[in-house]
Amino acid sequence: MWIDTHCHLDAPEFAPDVDDVVARARAAGVHAMVLPAVAAAHFGTVRALAHRHGLAYALGLHPLFVDQAEEEDLDRLDQALAQARDDPRLVAVGEIGLDHFVPGLDRARQQRFYEAQLRLARRHGLPVLLHVRRSADALLAGLGRHPVCGGIAHAWNGSDAQAGRFVARGLALGFGGAMTFERALNIRRQAAQLPAESLVLETDAPDIPPWWLYRTAAQRAAAATDQGPSTAGPALASSGHGRNEPAQLPRIAASLAALRGWTLEETARQTGANACRVLPRLGALV
């Protein structure tokens, strides 16, 4: 059984066919999925999706959305975590973190929301799902001030030293579609060499497609021109434009297996055990 530790099934890309997306994932052997929220308005949606499909979820305020967030959203998050205290499907606070890649964002506001959410994770005894984008050192500094009980550094793409510091703090590192690109030399080297206990798998669906789904902007435009209006249905139409989904996880995992010299069974067993260790509530669901 595979575990997708990070997929956004509440994204608008999945609105037309989310039930089919879950069914395809299950048919592919992906029976556990973690759905992180990105804004307060999404809390109810991810919770409802998790309960409807027997999945797990996390609640948090994503750094790319904090510029539009209200100050009261931190109170809303605190209340939502308290209300879901006994909900076994709530497994983490996330997606939270810092994004130092996208220009024009208010870094000071990101930092304030990030550290406030670390404090909430500590208060509610939950691990975290961290957005790490050219921000690893700043995230680690925050964890030093506000230690939490583990979690996952999502979409890992940092240095060896940074990886070691996250792992030392009880976090695993999320590897997904980016690992499948042959030119992703650092990610692939780390996937091959980092301690086996530090690795978990994810899709970040609908984002970060693996190489076989990736389309450049020029390719998408050409396909739209050649094909005209799609009659293939939402799933095929979207995947033609690179939509990622949890059903892709086993093929992504095959890249990790090849890099490590593992069988697929070993890969599923190791990464699944790692996910359940860093997200303890998840273990009761699988």
Q: What is the pLDDT of residue 63?
A: 98
How many other C-beta atoms lie within 10 A of the C-beta of residue 195? 12
pLDDT band at 143 (very low <50, low <70, confident <90, very high): very high
Q: Is 56 helix (H, G, I), strand (E, B) or coil?
A: strand
Domain that holds residue 213: 2-283
Residue 95, annotated as binding a ligand: yes
Residue 13, annotated as binding a ligand: no
pLDDT over 80 (residue 224): no
Q: Which residues lie below 8 Å from residue 45, measured CB to CB, with a gap of 6+?
A: 10, 37
Report which residue type is found at 23: A
- Asked if residue 1 lies in contact with residue 32, where contact means CB atoms within 8 angstroms, the answer is yes
Q: What is the pLDDT of residue 80?
A: 98
User: What secondary structure letter does DSSP report for 133?
Assistant: E
Residue 42, annotated as binding a ligand: no
From residue 224, how far is each of 111, 122, 160, 219, 239 by CA, in Å?
A: 40, 48, 41, 9, 13
pLDDT band at 101 (very low <50, low <70, confident <90, very high): very high
Report which residue type is found at 34: V
Percent of the chain with pLDDT over 70: 91
Q: Is 143 helix (H, G, I), strand (E, B) or coil?
A: helix
Q: Which residues pair with 253 in a beta bridge?
A: none
Residue 100, annotated as binding a ligand: no
Q: How far apart are CA 62 and CA 95, in angstroms?
A: 5
pLDDT (average), residues 1-26 = 98
Helix (H) or strand (E) holding 245: none
pLDDT digits (tens, 9 = 90+) for 67-96: 999 999 999 999 999 999 999 999 999 999
CATH number for position 118: 3.20.20.140
Residue 62, annotated as binding a ligand: no
How many other C-beta atoms lie within 10 A of the C-beta of residue 282? 22
Higher-confidence position of 241 and 8: 8
Q: How far apart are CA 277 and CA 139, in angstroms?
A: 21
What total of structural domains would you count in the chain? 1
Q: What is the pLDDT of residue 215?
A: 76
Residue 72, annotated as binding a ligand: no
pTM: 0.92
